[in-house]
Structure 1
Amino acid sequence: MAKDTLSDITGLPDDLGIGDDLTRSQQRASIRVDSRRYGKPVTVVEGLDLPSDDVESLASTLKSKLAVGGTVSDDGEVELQGKHGRRLVEALREEGFDVET
């Protein structure tokens, strides 16, 4: 019988996936709007301390929810085309993040 490994964060079995949710809720994402070429607005989500695969997955989820284009920068920031104040805050909270605007 294989022994379940316990999470360092919750002390519960890793199979439950609770540690991932708790890790997200302990992070504070920050949102700002930058101006790019030709004055186009870009909303930037920064302050995410996640593995690159998780950031890519989050970016994909946010792009789908907001119906916009975007990318992940080399710094691990999610860049979304346009201004997305309240809608982005709500989407990040639905994903389990604490948001600072």
Structure 2
Amino acid sequence: MKSLEDQLRNLFPEHQPSESPDIEEKGDLWLQEEPLICKYEKRKGKPITIIEGYTGADSDFKILAKEIKQLLSVGGSFKNETIIIQGDYRDKIMKFLKEKGFNVKRVGG
């Protein structure tokens, strides 16, 4: 069985593969001067953590939401320029964001 590279060479004989692929790294998020706001609420009797105040691109904020959800192994969503995480994880989220280089402000409680 031929490898994928061999199959691609047969299909595109003139193509010269580049050494470094142009893939964007996840660690290249835009860092802002204003602090992100991390707050706690209860909705329908269940605790949630809300992160808001990001002024960069929505795609960067979505990547950040995904990383937080994977770090904590919890559910959550990205809506209306806010990240909503199920459960009260303010301390862990604030520590994670500070390690990434963000300024974080705790609001409420």
Indicate whether the TM-score tops 0.5. Answer: yes
Identity %: 29
Higher helix share: 1
Aligned residue in 1 for 2:68: 62
Contact persistence 2:76–2:84 (CA under 8 A): yes
What SS is found at the alignment partner of 2:31? helix
2:99 to 90, 94, 97: 94
Q: How many residues align?
A: 80
Instruction: Give per-residue Cα distances to partners, 1:23-43, cap 9 Å, x unaligned.
Output: 515231011111112x00110
Cα deviation for residue 66 of structure 1 reads 1.3
2:58 to 32, 52, 72: 52
2:42 to 19, 35, 47: 35
Q: Which amino acid aligns with 2:93?
A: L
Instruction: Give per-residue Cα distances to partners, 1:56-91, cap 9 Å, x unaligned.
Output: 100001111111111111x21010000012111101
How many Å separate the matches in 2 of 1:69 and 1:95?
A: 21
How many Å separate the matches in 2 of 1:71 and 1:52?
A: 13
Aligned residue in 2 for 1:81: 86
Contact persistence 1:59–1:72 (CA under 8 A): yes
Look at both structures and tell me which one has the larger radius of gyration over its CA atoms: 2
Structure 2 residues not aligned, in runs of 5+: 1-27
TM-score by length of 1: 0.71
What is the RMSD computed on CA atoms of the aligned residues?
A: 1.8
